[in-house]
Structure 1
Amino acid sequence: MERRTFLRAAVAGGTTIAFGFSVTREAIAYPAQTGPNPYGPLQAADANGIQLPANFTSRVIARSTQKVAGTGHTWHGAPDGGACFADGAGWIYVSNAELGSGAGGVSAVRFDGNANITAAYPILAGTRQNCSGGATPWNTWLSCEETDLGYVFETDPWGAKPAVRRDAMGRFKHEAAAADPDRRVVYLTEDEPDGNFYRFVPTTWGDLSTGTLQVLVDNRGALSWVDVPDPDGSPTRTRRQVAGAKVFNGGEGAYYRNGTCFFTTKGDNRVWAYDAVNNALAIAYDDNLTGNPPLTGVDNITGAPAGDLYVAEDGGNMEICIITPDDVVAPFLRVNGQSASELCGVAFNPAGNRLYFSSQRGASGSNSGGITYEVTGPFRG
């Protein structure tokens, strides 16, 4: 019997739960297995040192410590999480700066409908270790501080409104955020070896100033959401306040689509799938459950219109891997000569025909060596 004829298996706390998903184009039978890249094999490295499938090309959008072409804005060091926002016929790409000591923040690059850069500017400054984050349905960017007792900041991609610190979303080592407009919650990951998976329930959807922070609890395989008594995490950290909270080894990226929040954990090289419709948890990818696993050092994650997931590597062999709706995982691109860096900030423009990402430390291996790229090609619609 072929593997995909089986129901997906969820493995949580030593308990295996089988279940099926409905009416989506998500994966058919977790966990994903190694297979061919749907776009074909990677070609020789281009002038930017990037190996891509045939008919795909790359260009450099910005380099840390240098002015973005055609603008007066100097690109930040250590670029990390990012997202795209529609802007008329064009779009805006926002990028975090994972820098400490108040040097963190977020910058934005604006493109016209022909992908020409028309502006670049800061939208958040003076923060710490802005790692990942997430876009909201009301077109703001949630920038998360990956530091003990870190905050979430809500920012304006257009730079017209000042950034606002969202204390109600809790203080912990934030990594990523993924908005779920169906249940009107925002999922949050925590980058700790014993981290938790959270959701924030705003009092009013579209307003993150007040609400309830909850944590996912696993009671012998039965999942539930429990309020965190003290979201400010002091003196007891949020991940230690609720008995039975499900532990995740180093939460990283998060991406929501069609009733499922996909999120990654770097400590065990997994991509998880939280089925919010049925309140169930599955492992969408695990390098220990995949033959000749191409994906290691899992980090940022995003999705394409065709239903494919794209997962960036922190380490590994500097690849962005694709996970297709029929559960095939394969390298989509590989960056050469930058082994002391990590890939991050994966995001598609609104049309889904341009992919943005950064090499956080570039070839130099230092925060000042970051490079932000764009990949163009025949992405599946």
Structure 2
Amino acid sequence: MSASIRARGVVYLTEDDNAGLFYRFIPTTPGKLVEGGKLQAMALKGAPSADTRNQEVAAWTVGDWREIEWIDLDDVESPNGDLAKRGHAAGAAWVARGEGVWWGDNELYFTATSGGPIRRGQVMRLVPGLNGAADRLQLFVESTDQRTMNMADNITIAPWGHLVLCEDNYSSDIRNHLKGVTPDGRIYVIARNVFTGNSEFAGACFSPDGEVLFVNIMYPGMTLAIRGPWSSVRT
């Protein structure tokens, strides 16, 4: 996280809905969220109410960058459940079922689990602007084959700079996997769920020394410790 973003205590939030938004919360007092603050939603600069999902219409391609801005949201505690619709009408961009989000080196990545032309997932990369520059968003990965990436959900970043994606698909014949993603967007397999029921992987994170990858399998409810050596994936 950049120093300026860290100092403001900004919190980024995804929304698990195919017609969702990507949010940030700027607290009135950094580190004291209970004191309130400002909730905003991401918009593509120069393209109000855009659609990043690529489900019906291909709005952009893998590797494309867009400058973004943030729309202030009103009545954020409304019981009507219409915040995303109101935010989109005000100019915010649709995101397809945002889920996992993780900071890397002065940038963040988040998944859009049902994004893309076959609705099997996207990974977005957001780089906060510095010294007055605009924030930027990249379509980093998008699935065109469910065997390559199938509904990435939770996400973490490995100590060597690769992404680790937890799949959450509902297929009876395509198993859920842990997938790695290199900095140039190449996807590889780390592990496969062979347990009956094909439940999702979730909650991936590394030990402080970077040697053990912990991950959960939702059903039957277990936590696995996957140990290195990880030298074969350090490229």
Same fold? TM cut 0.5: yes
Residue type of the alignment partner of 2:32: D
Which one-letter code corresponds to 1:370 in the other structure?
Answer: G
Q: Does 1:193 pair with 2:18?
A: yes
Q: TM-score, structure 2 length as denominator?
A: 0.76
Matches within 5 A, 1:7-26: none
The residue correspondences of 1:1-381 to structure 2 (distance < 5 A) are: 181=6, 184-209=9-34, 210-218=36-44, 219-220=46-47, 223-235=68-80, 237-242=82-87, 243-268=90-115, 269-277=121-129, 278-288=134-144, 293-315=147-169, 316-361=174-219, 369-380=220-231
Whether the aligned pair in 2 keeps the contact of 1:313 and 1:319 (CA below 8 Å) is yes
Aligned with 1:280: secondary structure? Answer: strand
Paired residue secondary structure (2:210):
coil
**1:208 offset after TM fit, Å?**
1.1
Q: Deviations over 1:330-351 (max 9, x none)?
A: 1111121334311111111111
CA distance in 2, matches of 1:261, 1:296: 21
Cα pair distance change 1:372/1:216, threshold 3 Å: same
For 1:273 and 1:338, locate their aligned partners in 2 and report how far apart those are by CA, in whole Å: 34
| Contact 1:346/1:356 (8 A) holds in 2 | yes
Look at both structures and tell me which one has the larger radius of gyration over its CA atoms: 1
Q: Which amino acid aligns with 2:216?
A: S
Indicate the SS of the match to 2:38: strand
> Aligned partner of 2:226: which letter?
V
Amino acid at match of 2:93: K
Instruction: Count the aligned residue pairs.
Output: 193
Letter in 1 for 2:39: L
Q: Which runs of 5+ in 1 are unaligned?
A: 1-179, 362-368
Corresponding residue of 2:56: none
Q: Deviations over 1:243-281 (max 9, x none)?
A: 121001111100112222201011121011112124111
For 1:294 and 1:319, the matched residues in 2 are separated by 10
* C-alpha RMSD of the superposition: 2.0
Determine the C-alpha separation between the residues in 1 that align with 2:8 and 2:209.
26
Counterpart CA distance in 2 for 1:236 and 1:328 is 38
User: Secondary structure at the residue paired with 2:33?
Assistant: strand
Q: Which has the higher strand share?
A: 1
Distance 1:328 1:182, change over 3 A: farther
TM-score, normalised to structure 1, is: 0.48
Separation in structure 1 between the aligned mates of residue 78 and residue 17 of structure 2, nearest angstrom: 14
1:236 Cα deviation from its structure 2 partner: 5.3
Structure 2 stretches lacking a partner, 5+ long: 48-65, 116-120
User: Counterparts of 1:292 and 1:240 in 2: how far apart (Å)?
Assistant: 29
AA in 1 matched with 2:224: Y
Q: Give the secondary-structure state (helix, strand or coil) at the position aligned to 1:181.
A: helix
Higher relative contact order (CA 8 A, sep 6+): 1
**For residue 303 of structure 1, what is the amino acid of its counterpart?**
I
